[in-house]
A and B are shown apart, each in its own frame.
Chain A
Amino acid sequence: AQSVTQLGSHVSVSEGALVLLRCNYSSSVPPYLFWYVQYPNQGLQLLLKYTSAATLVKGINGFEAEFKKSETSFHLTKPSAHMSDAAEYFCAVSAPGGYNKLIFGAGTRLAVHP
């Protein structure tokens, strides 16, 4: 069985500050891991994904995440927050092989203030 825990349902940062959104996973097999972003009244957009290649993954809009097997973590970071980063962020896990249905965390709402 697989599961995802996102620590912190709400995170607030100042514009220009570091963004850190936490994700821990549980999986009985080596996982694939994903971060998606959701803007109001829109679908989910993929930020980045880990599929067993490099453990440091770079995504769109300056985001990156590092897969740490020993910590079962896949935290999302961005060095400098922009106002446009305000959105809901979801971490998800799937099992390689098969059809890869996604198991999502509960989400973290990021607020960016001036």
Chain B
Amino acid sequence: GAGVSQSPRYKVAKRGQDVALRCDPISGHVSLFWYQQALGQGPEFLTYFQNEAQLDKSGLPSDRFFAERPEGSVSTLKIQRTQQEDSAVYLCASKNTGSSDTQYFGPGTRLTVL
């Protein structure tokens, strides 16, 4: 079946611009995660959704970062007034509700802020 998809795959933004990154999870997956992967680093947790409810946003680095999943399926990560330090790969993952279920990752969106 179809995996997790993300769009766009690459985004170049000028400093100060707003960007929106989209994630389409595996159909039926209740749980959705966003991670940020800086160059040469492991992914770091940003936020978690269970259906449409955002249950954990403790990893969002600033109030310029906002995520939503209004219908419990597609999710959007929005970054306002982008800064150079926001340059990273943004990964989305989805899983079923079982505690030991696997998180399946999308290919990521590489954001470059100039």
Contacts and interface: CB of A to CB of B under 8 A. Distances in A.
Interface stretch (B13-21, B43-51, B67-75, B76-84): B43-51
A46 to B, nearest CB: 5
Which interface class (under 10, 10 to 19, 20 to 34, 35 or more) fits A? 20 to 34
Contacts of A51: 99-100
Interface residues of B, number: 28
B108 interface: yes
B99 A107 contact: no
B102 A49 contact: yes
Given A99-B56, A105-B42, A43 B107 contact: yes
Nearest to B32: A99
Given A32-B100, A104-B43, A43 B4 contact: yes
A102 B107 contact: no
Interface in A33-71: 36, 41-46, 49, 51
Interface of B: 4, 31, 33, 35, 40-45, 48, 50, 55-56, 91, 93, 95, 99-108, 110
